[in-house]
Amino acid sequence: MKKFDRPWLIAIAVLPLALTLGGCSLLGGGPNIPNVPGLPGDGSGGDGDGVEEVVEGAGGGDIDYEEGSLPADFPVADIPLVPGEIVIGMSMGGSDGRKAWQVNIKVADQSVAETADDLLLDAGFSNESGFAFENDTYLVVVTAQDTSEGWQVAYIISETE
């Protein structure tokens, strides 16, 4: 089993913050978050820049936070994603040089959400732990949830080497 490194801890800790401050675009745009002393950004919540600044400050590294798209460095050729609307995409680098990503996708329905595991298995990932999918390069945790706005699939991916 691969050890969980710092980018994983940051990704897991930051996800609720990112969704809250980002206003989850499924809810019709970001909330107006007033300027609060100590929080960076203009508080508009509209483009995710404030979220990116908060996350970078908490993690001490470079974070690429995107609403509605994948980060530029996401390994599209290596990680198969379910078809749907990307809600958020985040990329972060660890002090050890490895990267981690968080991607949330709104999908059409439960049947689409349930294809996430098979897509990873078909791409050569194994799931011996029953918790995470892994290959020689990546460790992937994928979850699906029925939200008030429909089904979402969340991916947390970390480079293992």
pLDDT, tens digit, for every residue of 54-79? 544 444 567 889 999 999 999 999 99
Residues 155, 103: contact at Cβ < 8 Å? yes
Instruction: Please tell me the total count of domains within the chain.
Output: 1
Burial 39-76 (b: 16+ CB within 10 A, else e): eebeeebbebebbbbbbbeebeeebbbbbeebbeebee
Of 3-7, 47-51, 135-139, 142-146, the poorest mean pLDDT is in 3-7
- pTM, rounded to two decimals: 0.68
Q: Does 1 map to a domain?
A: no
The domain in which residue 53 lies consists of 6-159
